[in-house]
C-alpha cells in the first residue's frame, strides 16, 4: 500500500558543493549525509541528494519556463522577489524571469549541477 512520499531526489556530482547550495544558500535543513546520499528536510518532505561519484549530471531540455523532461522540484517562497535577489547576488543562475499570474508567481533556476528547480510564491504568501 502506498502511504506517502518517501523522498524526492536529484543527482549531484559534488556532494559538498550540493550541500552548500541546498543547505547554506537555499536554507534547507540537512538531516543526513554520508557523502554518497544526503537527506534534507523541506517543510516536512524529505529531499535527497544522490552522488554520481563525480560524473556530470546529464542536462535536461529546458526553456524559460523550466525543465521539459523529468520532474521539477518547486520550492515555496513567501517573498519571491527577495529570494530571487538574494540568490542572484550569490550567483544562482535563473532561467527566464518571474512569471506572475492570479495563481501566484514562479521562476525556474539551476543548481550547480544543472538540475532545474523552481521558486513559487502562491497568492496567499
State residue 22 phi and psi, 5-degree precision. Answer: -75, -40
Contact 24, 33 (CB under 8 A): no
Q: Record the pTM.
A: 0.93
Question: If pLDDT is split at 50, 70 and 90, which confidence band does 125 have?
Answer: low
The answer on 95 and 78 residing in a single domain is yes
What's the grid cell of residue 34? 554520508
The answer on 73 and 33 residing in a single domain is no
Q: For residue 99, what are the β-bridge partners?
A: 106
Q: For residue 32, what are the β-bridge partners?
A: 39
Which of 53, 70, 92 is the last residue before a domain boundary?
A: 53
Give the residue numbers spanning the domain of 5.
1-53
Residue 11: alpha-carbon gap to chain centroid = 11
The answer on 73 and 21 residing in a single domain is no
Residues 9-61 have pLDDT tens digits of 999 999 999 999 999 999 999 999 999 999 999 999 999 999 999 999 999 99
State residue 2 phi and psi, 5-degree precision. Answer: -85, 130
The answer on 86 and 116 residing in a single domain is yes
CATH number, domain of 4, equals 3.10.180.10
How confident is the prediction for the chain on average, in pLDDT?
A: 96
Number of domains, the chain: 2
Amino acid at each position: 500500500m502506498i502511504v506517502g512520499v518517501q523522498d524526492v531526489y536529484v543527482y549531484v556530482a559534488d556532494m559538498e558543493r550540493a550541500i552548500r547550495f541546498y543547505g547554506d544558500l537555499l536554507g534547507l535543513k540537512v538531516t543526513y549525509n554520508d557523502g554518497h546520499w544526503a537527506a534534507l528536510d523541506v517543510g516536512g518532505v524529505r529531499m535527497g541528494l544522490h552522488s554520481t561519484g563525480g560524473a556530470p549530471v546529464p542536462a535536461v531540455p529546458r526553456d524559460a519556463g523550466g525543465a521539459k523532461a523529468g520532474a521539477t522540484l518547486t520550492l515555496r517562497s513567501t517573498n519571491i522577489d527577495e529570494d530571487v535577489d538574494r540568490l542572484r547576488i550569490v550567483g544562482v543562475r535563473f532561467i527566464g524571469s518571474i512569471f506572475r499570474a492570479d495563481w501566484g508567481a514562479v521562476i525556474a533556476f539551476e543548481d550547480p549541477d544543472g538540475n532545474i528547480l523552481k521558486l513559487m510564491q502562491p497568492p496567499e504568501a
